[in-house]
Amino acid sequence: MSSQPLRDILFNRRMLICVFTGFASGLPLYILISLVPAWLRTEGVGLKEIGLFTLIGLPYTWKFFWSPLLERYPLPLLGRRRGWMLLTQLGLLLSIAALPRFDTTTQLWPLAALCGLIAFLSASQDIVIDAYRRELLPDIELGLGNSIHVNAYRIAGLVPGSLSLILADFLPWDTVFLITAAFMSVAIVLTLSIKEPGHPGATPATLRAAIVEPFREFFQRLGLSQALLVLSFMFLYKLGDNLATALATPFYIDMGFELAQIGVVAKHAALWPMIVGGLLGGLMMVKIGINRALWVFGLVQLISIFGFALMAHVGEGLWLLALVIGFEYLGVGLGAAAFIAFIARTTSRVHSATQFALFTALTAVPRTVANAGTGYLVEAVGWEQFFYICALLALPGMLLLFKVAPWNGPNESQGSVQ
């Protein structure tokens, strides 16, 4: 129990840094999952091909393989975290700007390769940003700090998911992607303006130590059986809503909405409830703790998936679209806030880069491998039945809460401040 006032936790420089780390991490991912599918669909690419394009996100699931390299071999400039941050951000800016140089009808494979490079650079940036944030935040600030990071991550989706779509009605795609890529300069300014955090552990002496020690520490700390349950929970908790939103933009297009309507109505109806949910979730976690937040927010997240099924059943109406999406993404925001805080709490500060990369990579598996088949599933059963299946797949993660985050579990002492 901390006596630190809530205002001192909410209004400090660490929380401001979390705003910009979230934006830097979120922008490349939303370009891949929002802007690129919209571009491909308007160019006449089929749902099956767009669904398979989600496989380019595999670097997000594999990033723990090369995270020890980033831990073991810091770059000579800017320090252990910031050097790699700057290099990946410069690569992202150039790669995103180059996307529309490929023809969507004859060069899908080269285009997929470039998208894969963007995913690799983005995942590498996430490794060092997540480690930086874990080393920056004291334990009492994990819930709120990660909530702010997640919300800024979602705000970054406004650029490719709203602004860029609106611009696409008036400008050629190469100009749209150039403008979108320019927003990576925000991440570059962040990297150049912050200081290295205090590193609780020394740089690993060997590559073997950088690989082995994070895994050994995790399994020794939790025990084999509990560690496996925690890893299973990380995979399953967001499975349902990840699948439900995998083809959100093509879903809106198939419901008959125009790109400008999607940019103005649908994207904002998703974003702002998600921001409210995330911020509310972060503040509530300070009071009730992470475990209880996982229960409450997970239930809201599960119920909200049925809103998409309702939209698919009715199939029309901008106001209904806004209401349904707003409630769905309120659940997404709440669930994500608690989930990322749980991951951060599970991560050792000494091995933050590799462990955080492992955990977040595991959570990205449903968004990449499983989502690759969503196009086939939708075409087989239809949009409405698809969303019912997504709700069903959200149940196993909730059931695992009994084992990994019980309502009155010992970790709840993290929680309350005045």
- Render pLDDT for 19-30 as a digit per residue (tens, 0 to 9): 899 999 999 988
Q: What is the CATH number of the domain that holds 109?
A: 1.20.1250.20
CA distance linking residue 184 with residue 89, whole number of Å: 7
pLDDT in tens, 88-122: 999 999 999 988 887 777 777 788 888 889 999 99
What type of residue is 225?
Answer: S
pLDDT in tens, 60-87: 778 888 888 888 888 888 888 889 999 9
Specify the higher pLDDT residue, 257 or 368.
257
Dihedral of alpha carbons 360, 365, 371, 377, sign = negative
Cβ atoms < 10 Å from Cβ of 16 = 12
Q: What is the pLDDT of residue 413?
A: 41
The structure tokens listed for 367 are 């968004």
Q: What is the pLDDT of residue 266?
A: 67
For the chain, the residue count is 418
Alpha helices in 31-161 (DSSP H): 36-42, 47-52, 58-62, 67-72, 82-98, 108-136, 142-155, 158
- Torsion angle in degrees (nearest 10) through CA of 185, 64, 130, 98: 10
Q: What is the pLDDT of residue 273?
A: 80
Q: What is the pLDDT of residue 6?
A: 58
Q: What is the pLDDT of residue 179?
A: 92
Band the pLDDT of 183: cuts 50, 70, 90. very high
Does residue 77 form part of some domain? yes
Q: Backbone phi, then psi, for 239, in 5-degree steps?
A: -60, -50
Instruction: Please report how the helices 108-136 and 142-155 are oriented relative to each other, as an axis angle in degrees rounded to 10.
Output: 150
Does residue 272 have a pLDDT over 50? Answer: yes
Does residue 417 have a pLDDT over 50? Answer: no
Distances from the Cα of 167 to the Cαs of 161, 173, 188, 205, 306, in angstroms? Answer: 11, 9, 24, 50, 32
Q: What is the pLDDT of residue 10?
A: 63
For residue 284, count CB atoms less than 10 angstroms from its CB and return exposed for 0-12, middle for 13-18, buried for 19 or more.
buried
Does residue 229 form part of some domain? yes
Helix (H, G, I), strand (E, B) or coil at 70: helix
Specify the higher pLDDT residue, 252 or 263.
252
pLDDT in tens, 31-58: 888 888 888 877 777 666 777 666 777 7
Q: What is the pLDDT of residue 1?
A: 38
CA distance linking residue 366 with residue 58, whole number of Å: 10
Which residue segment(s) compose the domain that 93 sits in? 6-414
Does residue 275 have a pLDDT over 80? Answer: no
Structural domains counted in the chain: 1
- Per the prediction, the chain carries an average pLDDT of 81
Does residue 286 have a pLDDT over 70? Answer: yes
Does residue 129 form part of some domain? yes
Q: What is the pLDDT of residue 289?
A: 79
pTM of the model: 0.72
Does residue 1 form part of some domain? no
- How big is the CA angle at 86 (ends 84 and 92), to the nearest 5 degrees? 100
- Mean pLDDT on 12-17: 84
Q: Backbone phi, then psi, for 308, in 5-degree steps?
A: -65, -40
Does residue 371 have a pLDDT over 50? Answer: yes
- Mean pLDDT on 218-241: 88
Reference 394, options 343, 335, 321; nearest CA is: 335
CA distance linking residue 129 with residue 54, whole number of Å: 23
Q: What is the pLDDT of residue 182?
A: 92
Reference 242, options 399, 394, 46; nearest CA is: 394
Q: What is the pLDDT of residue 367?
A: 64
Alpha helices in 3-81 (DSSP H): 6-10, 13-30, 36-42, 47-52, 58-62, 67-72
Q: What is the pLDDT of residue 96?
A: 92
Q: pLDDT > 70: what percent of the chain?
A: 88
Specify the higher pLDDT residue, 269 or 187.
187
Does residue 243 have a pLDDT over 80? Answer: yes
Does residue 285 form part of some domain? yes
Highest mean pLDDT among 92-96, 155-159, 284-288, 355-359: 92-96
- Mean pLDDT on 208-225: 86
- Mean pLDDT on 277-286: 77
- Mean pLDDT on 335-360: 82
Q: What is the pLDDT of residue 202?
A: 65
